[in-house]
Amino acid sequence: MDAKVFGVNTIVYDERSDKMIHETFVATDPQTAYVEAVKKYGKEIKFVSARQIRHSDGTLRSEISISVPKTLFMEKSFGDQSHQTKVLEANEESILLEELQVLKKQLSLMKEDMLDSDESILKKVKALFMKKGIAEVWLDEILSTLLGADILEDETLLASYLLEEIDESLEIYEENLSEAKVIMLVGPTGVGKTTSIAKLAARYAYMMDKPYKVALVNLDNYKVGAYEQLAHYADIMQIEHVLVDGVSGFLESLGRLHDYDVILVDTAGMSPFDTKKFVKTVEYVQAKMQKKAEVSLVLSATVKYEDMDDIYKNFSFLNINSVIISKFDETKHFGTLLNFMLLYKIPMSYFSIGQEVPDDLLLASKEYLLERFIGDFNEG
């Protein structure tokens, strides 16, 4: 088995025999590595292979592989455990589990060695992505798969690889109006829910391959002017608009609007700590509707990550189907938003890129988001 290791021994099964175990010794030269093997097992070892390998710091190491009986390996590695060895031989699954734990620890050491190399290209690229808002935990998970790869020696290729991984990890919620549905927009105060609803209403009613019958339902009895703002848009577009109070009134209104293709629901904006409004919103979302119900979280591209995290944790109990990103026009830094989408893996449905209704609404696009991130990234 071919394994790249630096400064540690590797232990693997000999696939040709379940009685033998391969172990690899690494040193500055083959003689020293062989002496280490003999020192551990004596001269009754079977030589398998030898080669030179290059460490991440550029220095050369010599590696030899030897094969030893499993009983000898258990004795030298764990002491005199003849009784336990018999038990393990009767249970190959347990043996494999123990050896996998050893490999896991060694792999962890190798990852740390690679990821913490002081002046490596990897560290420079990683630092740049972190500076632009991408979390270290996500980067380490991706980079740890590149142990020994040539790409670690090319800064441009490594950055391109990470951008491709970001693209692969992002998810899109496909627009589908093939069946009648209720779409509820939720989110914190001032994030742009009402304007987003107006844009969606105009899109569904006038800008699709066919005109859909759209109605607006307003549940926001808290924000001053919320009803009037949505009523203004509804009047311009000649779309049905209903203000309701309470779950029973909500369900009654949905019953009256049963023949509509899309019912867009504007909920009350709230902070992540507003328990009263949150409980009320949950009651609406969990109401037994006749139509398919979807919940979209409206999230501003300008919010810092800690607030995004609080917002998601608060609204995730509503079983979020997708995220609508608002206020694209108010920032040029998209790393925080990208990081949020990568860590929580929530599909994106629409981007709101300005205040104009209906023009400033786009279907969510990985390419659109990444182009803006790369624009900021290139400044680094």
* pLDDT, tens digit, 9 for 90 and up, residues 144-185: 888 777 888 888 899 999 999 999 999 999 999 999 999 999
- What are 25's strand-pairing partners? 64
Residue type, 231: A
pLDDT at 215: 95
- Within 10 angstroms of residue 168's Cβ, the number of other Cβ atoms is 10
> Hunting for tokens 């990683």 — which residue is that?
126
Give the Cα separation of 223 and 274 in Å (integer): 14
pLDDT at 298: 93
pLDDT at 16: 45
Domain 181-365 - what CATH class? alpha beta
How far, in Å, are 62, 93, 94 from residue 102 at the CA level? 22, 15, 13
> Hunting for tokens 């000649």 — which residue is that?
238
Q: Is the peptide bond before 272 cis (omega within 30 degrees of 0)?
A: no
CATH 3.30.1660.10 fits 10-115, yes or no: yes
Mean pLDDT, the chain, integer: 80
pLDDT at 24: 87
Q: Is the peptide bond before 347 cis (omega within 30 degrees of 0)?
A: no
Please check whether residue 132 is in contact with residue 377, taking contact to mean a CB–CB distance below 8 angstroms.
Answer: yes
pLDDT < 70 stretches in the chain? 1-18, 55-58, 78-119, 220-226, 271-275, 376-380
- What are 324's strand-pairing partners? 298, 350
Indicate the pTM of the whole model. 0.66
pLDDT at 352: 92
pLDDT at 110: 52
Q: What is the residue extent of each domain of the chain?
A: 10-115, 121-169, 181-365
Please check whether residue 368 is in contact with residue 338, taking contact to mean a CB–CB distance below 8 angstroms.
Answer: no
pLDDT at 7: 42
* ∠ Cα 155 158 161 (to 5°): 150
pLDDT at 4: 37
